[in-house]
Structure 1
Amino acid sequence: MVGKALKELPQDQIQLATKFCCFKPNGYGQIKVKGTPEFARECCEASLKRLDVDYIDLYYQHCIHSTYFNHIPIEELGIGIVAYSPPGRGFFGGKAVVESLPAESILATHPRFNGENLEKNKLIYSHFSNLTAKLACTPPQLALAWLLHHGDNIIPIPGTTKVKNLENSIDSLAKKLTEDNLKEICDAVPIDEVAGHRNYIEMQYVDIDVNHSEGSTKGQFDSGSDSNHNIYTPQVSDEHKPKMGQQFLSLDEAREFYNAYAKEAGFSVRINSSKRSRDNSEILRKEYVCSKEGITSTRVNSKRKRRRGLTREGCNAKFTVVKSKSGGYVVKQFVEGHTHSLTSPQRAHLLRSHCSEAKKSLSQQLSTVNIHEVQTRGIQSIGCIERDIYNHERNLCREMRGHDEELLYEHFLSEQEKNASFIYDIKKDEEDRITHCFWADAKSRLAYNSFGDVVVFDTTNDTNRYGMVFATFIGVNNHCQSVIFGCSFLSDESTESFMWSFEQFKKSMSGSPPKVIITDQNPAMTKAITHTFPNTVHRYCIWHILNKFSEKLNEVVYRNHYNDFKQCIWDSYSKEEFELKWMEAIGRSMLHDNTWLQSVYEMRAKWVPVFVNHVFSAGMTNSQRVETFHGFFKRYVSKRNSLVDFIICFNRVIAHQRHEELIADHVDINEKPKLKLPHEMENRMAEIYTHEIFYEFQDEFWESFFYNVELATESGSCVYKVYRRNKSGCRGREIVYEKESDYATCNCKKFKSEGIPCRHLLAYFVKMGTSFLPQKYILNRWTKTAKYERVVDDLGIEINYFSDNSFISRRTRLFQLASNVIESVAFSDKDSKIVEEGLSDLLRRFKKDKAITSCGSINDRNSTKEQVYNEPPAVLAEECGERLKDGKEKACDPTKEKGRQCNGCGKVEHDHDKRNCPTLKNRSSVDANEDSNLLDLNNGISPQ
């Protein structure tokens, strides 16, 4: 379109400028930076062709690899440098940049404007601002004047949208700086003290191979795989980067330095080779390499059943030290570039060479992760007897009684202070007693933005001593793992309670309702969903319905006919086929008058697969996922918990789940799935999909090669028959290709319901000679990059999991420092005593400065709450709602108080059933004696 517009304008009046460098490999995934000469020519030629012009006046490259900095004579070649910082994206754009930066500003996402980095950089800004008063100018004017002083080829970006600010920027042209002024500026802004990168931490550079001879490059960009052609340079501060000739006192010091560098860079280290002296007395040379060095063996292990990815990618990064004459070790070789993407700082602790540091930190936080005392070498290691612990817990519960609701409210306030994206709401009755509450943290809200298309809503009881119903909104992420979107406490399971919970959920998610919601057959839920989410598809849980067959049918009918109903439900290809099979199953079982079967049949449009599989459900056809979560969750809680106890346990469960998600993200980056076929489609999808989704795609793709595809009819749309070769009795599928929309669908509807192409569609694509799966068949929610998106709420404020509050980062840093100190002195009595005395002195000093509130009584607190809340009224679980437990649930219920009835004697007692009934045992003994006497009489023997 731009090219066509240019044709209508006079060429001598147009200055044509365009740019290159940032790109997405294959058009998807993370933005990367590449500036090789070949890539520049390739992009320039593409621009000339698209614009249909003979030349470009200004060609602009975004980023330059540091290798070029000292080798390109830019002034001689007439090359200019566009300085987007310091004013454009730096701290010198004005006082508002560091004091009142809007939350929605793009700067808020950059490392220099976050957390501790922001606090450190504010000091530099204040030093720089003091100079502006002396030189009678503003900070932006002084920054621009400093840039312009360095040459006419420096083109600064003022970074303003207001005319007034632009005029002030133009005034900087008249500002001339002396050598003394330049020195004062350099002293005020020391480059080594600037905290944080100017770009995103995870931005990766795909550039030249710095290890090749000067002038050579790694070659053209390979669209299929970048493991052999692209170089990723870590963004690490200079003081942490190894340098040629750098000296170390020992090998341990060299290893620790390189491992620390690797952790900041985002890769793992291992030893590759060593060389010893002839008498084997000392190490003369040692080489450390990236853990992805080398190539994974292709040998097949028939015993290995777990799918494991490939971790070796032929990476050339290495660090070699040799013995020096002084007795230490010196850096002989340092290869910086990697042939693979690097791990983010949040996942660096999962890398093997950095795990030891995590284990050290873990020992300092046993109580917060619920480690039992036996794992800390017993109760005696704590410094008290077991009875002391029980007494303390009893006294603490007594002290908390009557204050539970206050602590819950203060907990929510505290979470919101730590992160403004934490959201909650509490509803109370006329006596100020809590009846409902809802909460969702930033991580949950971010997850909903990516995976909130399908939500499972369910409730559970026996999680707190008030009998309040615990309700959860759960989804599935791109690793097929459960994720929590939000939670509620409800006083009952009425329509009004569900409507309140749904409204709070919708409000917390910026008013965006889910596309599909799955629940059990609770009439109150159904009514509330119809009112609150009128445009949301509501489905019933098929797992609950199938589970009730054993309860609603007698034992003989269930054993003889359940498979008929099951086959009817799962194996019907069409609605008409389901109707026919259902009537046949009813006829064979003689259950025409069964009211429960009639009721589930009437609502078949909400749960039978053939009626609902045209709607995307992310593979969650039922709420059994939630039942599994609740089963796992109840290992942590009991009906004796207070609300605060519950929240603490709940946070532990959530932390466990999110750590599993972090591990899955880490595996996706650091391992490549093994391919089964030499096909471009499989290779590309291994790069796009997460491992869990790719393996499902891989199974379907493998199966597709066993199918034949034949054209049946052709008109406005083409109909193809797809059937499995050499398998009799296998029913075929039908694919319809619409020529106008260029879209193919299969009547199995796997892609529509699960978002993963079925084997029939893949067989069609292979038949048509398609090398890559079309983009329209790739759902972003199943890709590795599904979560990398900026999210704002309904007020336009960005939802950020990594809050700018420094409490968490400060606490983590102190734990790590304490862990390192303890590890260093643990084996020395003298050093340990010094540390103990020092910590004791610090603790005494802090006690004088500030009272430790955690040791005070709850009643003595100076509460800062603005609301008054009383404890919730007790709720009877039987009166909570209309959901009935089936026989199996009742039999497995560990919380019932009455015990169970013995089928032998009829008594109802705990730990008493037919297997250990004393009445039956006595009766068996009598029967055995009678049988023995009868046998003796038959044999002519008189009983004694």
Structure 2
Amino acid sequence: MKKIPEKLGRYEAYEDIKTALGNAVYDSLTTEEFESSWQNMVDQYLLYDNEWLQELYRNRHHWVPAYVKDTFWAGMSTTQRSESMNSFFDGYVNSKTTLRLFIEQYENALRDKVEKENIADFHSFKSTVPCITHYDIEKQFQLVYTNSKFQEFQKELTRKMYCYSTFIKREGAIEVYQVTEDIKIGDKRKDIVYGILLNEEEFEVKCYCHHFEFRGILCRHVLCLLTQKKVKEVPLRYILERWKKNIKRKHNFIRCTYSGMEDTPVAKRFDMLCNTFYEVAKAGAISDESCNVLVEAIHNLKIQFSTNSDNSTRDLHVQEGPSWDGKNKTILNPVAVRSRGRPPTLRKENKVDRKSREKMAREKRQKRKKKKTILRYFFFV
């Protein structure tokens, strides 16, 4: 979309084409609406021969929001730039960093990221973000979500004030509603209508904006309808496990050089089991018969250890911090882990970086000396 001035700027009706293209891409809630808006734009401004637009249309399934927003992307989109990656390396690398030093700093950046995640998890257990309303739904999400995800939920909850719902019809067990949202674009305001399907018997709700399918957070349109119907609790299917504060992430069991997990008993046991299973898998892959026998044996082991695993996981959560319901207030200190590698003050430095640093320090000393000379001159004058 940023190439519009370059690709379409030569047309006399450029401003109108730009507006029509933006409306087709961003305001189309369904694929049918996009197809209709795109075709009307091409017909109205005679854009049949524009190869760039033809290529965009052929690849529409990969970039147009109407085609991709019904798939879970955890909030990521194809239009994201690399600012987050650049900020990830802030303070660790610069344009003069050598390849050898980059490898060291890369692990330092990863270690810092893991530490920040652990601190954020600790704060989610230790403290809670206060509710901004008296709705029971908000209290439900406050108890289970991490602080950062709960704040995302609160943003949607506050934006529901610009929405109002209207009952349209009932088709069997499904009720059809329309939610009108008052949005502001620049200095202009306009109303956008979203359709919502609600099945109260099975408590299934679906909004045409597909915000939940795309980001994993209930949208303001659904929240507007649920609060209007005085719903006190939403089903667990609308509370994703990945956003919960008490979830035990499986990647934490993997041994790595930057997180300090390589020295924990859990990581060592997990690593030993993976190596053992690898040898068993090689033996079971020899024939179909041995593979089937091994699969059945593993299935029986899963049943046998499922109960023990659930109990161990619950005990682990109690040790690490308070339960999500807030009843356990005991906070244990995190395990102290010695960082790996040479301390920052003793790290080796290549000749280029050392000479560059010495040159900058020399220039600073010369500037300070020159400034003192000037001040001394004016003082005596």
- Structure 1 residue 744: deviation in Å? 1.5
Q: Hey, what does 2:228 align to over in structure 1?
A: 767
| 1:641 aligned residue (98, 102, 119) | 98
- The answer on 1:780 being equivalent to 2:241 is yes
Measure, in 2, the Cα distance between the counterparts of 1:659 and 1:559. 49
Q: CA deviation at 1:688?
A: 1.6
Aligned to 2:124: 668
Q: For residue 719 of structure 1, what is the aligned residue in structure 2?
A: 176
SS of residue in 2 equivalent to 1:619: coil
In structure 2, what is the equivalent of residue 710 of structure 1? 167
Report the alpha carbon displacement of residue 791 of structure 1 after superposing the two structures with TM.
5.7
Cα deviation for residue 572 of structure 1 reads 0.8
Aligned length: 266
Identify the residue that residue 554 of structure 1 maps to in structure 2: 9
1:632-687 deviation per Cα after TM superposition (whole angstroms, max 9, x unaligned) = 53871548723x32211222332343343334324323332132212222122122
1:626 CA displacement = 3.8
Report the Cα distance in structure 2 between the residues aligned to 1:810 and 1:680, rounded to whole angstroms. Answer: 41
How do 1:338-357 residues align onto structure 2 when only pairs under 5 Å count? none
* Aligned twin of 1:732: 193
1:92-116, CA deviations, whole angstroms, 9 ceiling, x for partnerless residues?
xxxxxxxxxxxxxxxxxxxxxxxxx
Give how far 1:581 is off: 1.8
Could you tell me which residue of structure 2 aligns to residue 401 of structure 1?
none
Q: Deviations over 1:813-868 (max 9, x none)?
A: 9x99xxxxxxxxxxxxxxxxxxxxxxxxxxxxxxxxxxxxx99xxxxxxxxxxxxx
Match of 1:583 among 39, 48, 66: 39
Structure with bigger helix share is 2
> 1:627 Cα shift?
4.9
Kindly tell me: are residues 627 and 701 of structure 1, through their superposed partners in 2, closer, same or farther at Cα, counting changes over 3 Å?
Answer: closer
Structure-2 change in CA distance of 1:756 and 1:589 (3 Å): same
Question: Matches of residues 182-581 of structure 1 in structure 2 within 5 Å?
Answer: 546-554=1-9, 561-581=17-37
In the TM superposition, what is the alpha-carbon distance from 1:713 to its structure 2 partner?
2.0
Report deviation, 1:782.
1.7
Alpha-carbon contact 1:637-1:646 (below 8 Å) kept: no
The aligned counterpart of 1:611 is: 67
Asked if structure 2 preserves the Cα contact closer than 8 Å seen for 1:712 and 1:721, the reply is: no
Post-superposition CA distance 1:510-553 (Å, at most 9, x none) = xxxxxxxxxxxxxxxxxxxxxxxxxxxxxxxxxxxx23334433
Matched, 1:803 2:262: yes
Partners of 2:182 and 2:9 in 1: CA distance: 42
Please provide the CA RMSD for this pair. Answer: 3.8
Measured in 2, the distance between the counterparts of 1:556 and 1:696 equals: 42
Aligned partner of 2:118: which letter? L
Amino acid aligned to 2:110: I
Would the alpha carbon gap of residues 748 and 669 (structure 1) be closer, same or farther in structure 2, given more than 3 Å must change? same
Paired AA for residue 160 in structure 2: S
| C-alpha deviation, 1:625, in angstroms | 5.0
3-state DSSP of counterpart to 1:733: strand
Judging changes above 3 Å, is the alpha-carbon distance between structure 1 residues 783 and 589 closer, same or farther for their aligned structure 2 residues? farther
Inter-partner Cα distance in structure 1 for 2:250 and 2:221? 36
Please state how far the C-alpha of 1:703 moved relative to its aligned partner: 3.5
Unaligned runs of 5+ in 2: 266-334, 349-381
Instruction: Give the SS at the match of 1:722.
Output: strand
CA distance in 2, matches of 1:629, 1:791: 21
Distance 1:749 1:615, change over 3 A: same
What pairs with 1:677-688 in structure 2 (closer than 5 Å)? 677-688=133-144
Q: Per-residue deviation at 1:701? A: 2.1
TM-score under structure 2 length normalisation = 0.59
Is 1:629 matched up with 2:85?
A: yes
Contact 1:709 1:767 in 2 (8 A): no
Structure 1 805/572 Cα, relative in aligned 2: closer, same or farther at 3 Å?
closer
Supply the distance in 1 between the matched residues of 2:147 and 2:8 (Cα, whole angstroms).
42
Q: Does 1:750 align with 2:211?
A: yes
CA contact under 8 A between 2:72 and 2:214: conserved in structure 1? yes
Q: Which amino acid is 1:804 matched to?
A: D
Structure with higher RCO (Cα < 8 A, 6+ apart): 2
* Cα 1:734/1:809, change in 2 over 3 Å: closer
**Residues of 2 paired with 1:725 and 1:594: CA distance?**
35
TM-superposed CA distance for 1:704, in Å, is 3.2
Q: Which runs of 5+ in 1 are unaligned?
A: 1-545, 793-797, 817-853, 856-944
| Cα pair 1:549 1:562 within 8 Å, conserved | yes
Distance (Å, rounded) in 2 between the aligned partners of 1:772 and 1:805:
39
Q: CA deviation at 1:759?
A: 1.5
Distance 1:679 1:742 in 2: 18
| Aligned-partner residue type, residue 57 of structure 2 | Y
Counterpart-to-counterpart distance in 2, 1:633 and 1:811: 23
In our comparison, the structure showing a higher alpha carbon Rg is 1
Which residue of 2 is the match for residue 849 of structure 1? none
Distance apart, 1:629 and its partner CA: 0.6
Q: Deviations over 1:563-590 (max 9, x none)?
A: 3312211111221211222233334554
Q: Distance in 2 between matches of 1:659 and 1:689?
A: 20
Identity %: 29
